[in-house]
Amino acid sequence: MRALLQRAIAAIEALPPDVQDAIATRLLAEAADEQAWASQFEATTGAQWDRMAEMVRRAINDGGITPLDDVLPPRQPS
């Protein structure tokens, strides 16, 4: 187990049982979601990636994509 996860678990153990259960439920759902995404990515064929890339290219060419800089202002140097 990674040190950061051990620290998180130690912090969670200090919380009331109902809060621990709520956090555990969210963590288990997140882990299941991560496994599902990993399986989907592993099962995606080269041809499927190519089709998705072509769909994105068409959307960009058709003007159906909003540039990120139009949605979020650029970061200012600190």
Grouped pLDDT means (10 residues each) for the chain, 78 residues: 95 98 98 97 96 92 84 79
pLDDT of residue 66: 82
pLDDT of residue 15: 98
H or E element: which one contains 53? helix 46-61
Q: Are 12 and 23 in contact (CB under 8 A)?
A: yes
pLDDT of residue 48: 97
CA distance 49 to 43: 11
**Four-CA torsion 32, 34, 39, 40, nearest 10 degrees:** 110
